[in-house]
């Protein structure tokens, strides 16, 4: 038998502890690169999608963020195959270099104002490269650490890989905040936002050095020495129904729910603070950072607990509890974050009264559509202000109205107006609506004096706690589902489809639903439905794996 990672007592020796630490640190830096975009999506939207209307620009910036997630499954297939063919170590080196260079180049890209449509095209291309690299990263890191861990401790040891995602986000938030505070808001928003991306060149150099120190997984070495290595991992993993069925169940019964809970608790919560509640970006980032700091140790706790009671009950419980409590928690975030919105909505509700046929789904990916109907004009103004509103059908052909409390304001039809006249009339109508909203008590921005930051941190920390429940044990659960010869390939695909597609699109789908309905909580239905679906599928069709011997 080849050299193993454990000593006679079943514990990792010093050298292998260093290997696990090196693997985790490299993954932290890779997540840092990936999350920079997510944290700066609002600013990036202004610089790279300024040719679109404001609502479409923000949604398209989120779509560009999601594009990196969309290609992660393809990265999982490409690099998973390499990992099962040539080993875990060398695949690590390729993914970190691609990720680091792509992130650095985002920091030097020209803006839309400089080169027009070329800017967003290049940005999305780099996001796709980031997604491909990350698609090959996680499965390798999780597999590598699990194959070094002693029996009975895989949940604990792989939980350190799970922490890396939060540490990467936390590190990106710290660098962003430090840069913003050093330069001031104006300079940071004009050009300083590029600095965190440029810093990635230093991090990638450190990461490559760390990855060069790694030794190959002893389980992989043993398999290779015994001639049991798969010669066609893709065919074996996805061409045989027995394994393909397990891949599908792992996706729908584990990673899909885990993913939406994760991204709701971190990214969607961040955007909800800034876009819906109008809390300034620096404060929102600090609140999320504080919640992450509080919640991070629970990744290890739930990983450790899963070694004792199992992976399945913890992950599924996290999905169910999150789904049942999201609405009250986010309403609590509104209450403590911007109580003026809550109060105004209760005393002077806003309603858009319009012919439904004249109300568009205001998403324009190419910047060519003109949202000039009276309904679109009204909803655009309310969306920019983050005002919650209800919809009421009006007779066919009538001009839309905005009702603020008892006050009714007539919108206008802009289809026949030239661009200058439309802009002027929109400005006038917008000022009229803003005056009515101000009179009714709707604030333009959250008032720090009214915000209860300690309670916000508590509620955000609860969301992070849900994240730790579903994410802490997931790596061990996935690793234990599949045999060594196709483990990297098999586990990577459901993880990255779940996190890349189901999870990565949470902010985009959520805010598209909000823009459609006007209800600032309506976007929560997406993660709730997915999490409940995962709970029932996982409960009925997936087995517990904590006692599986992955070396056999």
What is the mean predicted confidence (pLDDT) over 103-127? 87
Half-sphere exposure of 460 (CA within 13 A, CB side): 30
Each residue's pLDDT tens digit, 380-418: 888 878 889 999 999 998 999 999 999 999 999 988 888
Q: Are 408 and 522 members of one domain?
A: no
Nearest to 286 by CA among 268, 302, 274, 276: 274
Q: What CATH number does residue 368 fall under?
A: 3.40.30
348 has a pLDDT exceeding 80: yes
Q: Are 32 and 135 members of one domain?
A: yes
**91 or 321: whose pLDDT is higher?**
321
Domain end, chosen from 407, 440, 473, is at 440
pTM of the model: 0.83
**355 or 208: whose pLDDT is higher?**
355
pLDDT for residue 446: 92
Percent of the chain with pLDDT over 70: 88
Compute the mean pLDDT over every residue in the chain, rounded to the nearest whole number: 84
Q: Decide if 136 contacts 91 (C-beta within 8 A).
A: yes
Q: Are 352 and 277 members of one domain?
A: no
Q: In the chain, what is the straight-line distance between the N-terminal and C-terminal CA atoms, in Å?
A: 12
Q: Are 64 and 81 members of one domain?
A: yes
How confident is residue 54, by pLDDT bands cut at 50, 70 and 90? low
Q: Which residue range forms the structural domain that includes residue 330?
A: 14-338+449-541
Range of 186-195, 213-222, 256-265, 480-489 with top mean pLDDT: 256-265
Q: What CATH number does residue 251 fall under?
A: 1.20.1250.20
Q: Are 474 and 504 members of one domain?
A: yes
Q: Decide if 329 contacts 343 (C-beta within 8 A).
A: no
Q: Are 20 and 86 members of one domain?
A: yes
Q: Are 123 and 218 members of one domain?
A: yes
Each residue's pLDDT tens digit, 300-320: 999 999 999 999 999 999 999
How confident is residue 299, by pLDDT bands cut at 50, 70 and 90? very high
Q: Decide if 475 contacts 311 (C-beta within 8 A).
A: no
Number of domains forming the structure of the chain: 2
**2 lies in some domain:** no
How confident is residue 5, by pLDDT bands cut at 50, 70 and 90? very low
71 has a pLDDT exceeding 50: yes
pLDDT for residue 295: 92
Q: Decide if 107 contacts 42 (C-beta within 8 A).
A: no
1 has a pLDDT exceeding 50: no
Locate 460 and state its tokens: 């955000």
221 has a pLDDT exceeding 70: no
Q: Are 424 and 512 members of one domain?
A: no
pLDDT for residue 277: 93
Each residue's pLDDT tens digit, 482-501: 887 788 788 888 988 888 78
Nearest to 513 by CA among 501, 500, 496, 528: 528
Percent of the chain with pLDDT over 90: 42
452 has a pLDDT exceeding 90: yes
227 has a pLDDT exceeding 50: yes
How confident is residue 368, by pLDDT bands cut at 50, 70 and 90? low
Domain end, chosen from 440, 471, 492, is at 440
Q: Are 333 and 367 members of one domain?
A: no
Q: Are 382 and 501 members of one domain?
A: no
Q: Decide if 79 contacts 95 (C-beta within 8 A).
A: yes
pLDDT for residue 436: 95
**546 lies in some domain:** no
């Amino acid at each position: 038998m080849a050299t193993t990672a454990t000593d006679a007592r079943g514990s990792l020796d010093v050298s292998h502890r260093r290997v696990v630490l090196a693997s985790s640190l490299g993954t932290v830096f890779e997540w840092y690169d990936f999350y920079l975009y997510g944290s700066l999506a609002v600013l990036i939207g202004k610089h790279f999608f300024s040719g679109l209307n404001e609502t479409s620009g923000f949604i398209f910036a989120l779509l560009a963020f999601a594009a990196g997630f969309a290609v992660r499954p393809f990265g999982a297939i490409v690099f998973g195959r390499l990992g099962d063919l040539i080993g875990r170590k060398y695949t690590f080196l390729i993914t970190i270099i691609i990720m680091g260079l792509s992130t650095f180049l985002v920091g030097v890209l020209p803006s839309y104002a400089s080169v027009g449509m070329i800017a967003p095209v290049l940005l999305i291309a780099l996001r796709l490269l980031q997604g491909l690299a990350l698609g090959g990263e996680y499965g390798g890191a999780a597999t590598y650490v699990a194959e070094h861990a002693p029996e009975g401790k895989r949940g604990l040891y792989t939980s350190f890989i799970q922490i890396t995602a939060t540490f990467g986000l936390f590190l990106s938030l710290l660098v962003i905040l430090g840069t913003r505070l050093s330069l001031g808001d104006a300079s940071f928003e004009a050009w300083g936002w590029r600095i965190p991306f440029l810093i990635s060149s230093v991090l990638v150099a450190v990461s490559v050095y760390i990855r060069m120190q790694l030794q190959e997984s002893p389980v992989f070495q043993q398999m290779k020495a015994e001639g049991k290595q798969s010669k066609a991992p893709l065919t074996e993993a996805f061409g045989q129904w027995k394994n393909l069925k397990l891949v599908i169940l792992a996706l729908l019964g584990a990673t899909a729910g885990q993913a939406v809970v994760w991204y709701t608790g971190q990214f969607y919560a961040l955007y909800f603070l800034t876009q819906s509640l109008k809390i300034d970006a620096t404060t929102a980032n600090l609140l999320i950072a504080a919640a992450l700091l509080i919640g991070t140790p629970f990744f290890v706790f739930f990983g450790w607990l899963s070694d004792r009671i199992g992976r399945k009950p913890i992950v599924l419980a996290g999905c169910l509890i999150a789904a049942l409590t999201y609405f009250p928690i986010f309403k609590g975030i509104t209450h403590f974050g911007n109580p003026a919105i809550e109060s105004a909505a209760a005393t002077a509700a806003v309603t858009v009264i319009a012919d439904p046929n004249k109300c568009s789904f205001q998403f324009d990916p190419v910047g060519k559509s003109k949202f000039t109907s009276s309904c679109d004009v009204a909803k655009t103004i309310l969306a920019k202000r983050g005002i919650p509103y209800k919809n009421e059908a009006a007779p066919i052909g009538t001009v839309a109205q905005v009702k603020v409390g008892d006050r009714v304001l007539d919108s206008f039809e802009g289809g026949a107006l030239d661009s200058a006249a439309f802009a002027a009339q929109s400005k006038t109508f917008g000022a009229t609506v803003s005056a009515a909203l101000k009179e009714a008590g709707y604030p333009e921005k959250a008032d720090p004096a009214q915000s209860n930051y300690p309670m916000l941190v508590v509620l955000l920390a609860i969301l992070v706690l849900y994240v730790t429940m579903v994410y802490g044990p997931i790596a061990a659960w996935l690793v234990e589902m599949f045999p060594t010869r196709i483990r990297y390939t098999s586990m990577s695909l459901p993880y990255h489809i779940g996190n890349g597609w189901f999870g990565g699109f949470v902010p985009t789908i959520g805010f598209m639903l909000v823009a459609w309905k006007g209800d600032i909580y309506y976007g929560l239905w997406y993660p709730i439905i997915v999490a409940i679906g995962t709970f029932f599928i996982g409960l009925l069709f997936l087995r517990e794996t904590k006692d599986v011997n992955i070396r056999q």
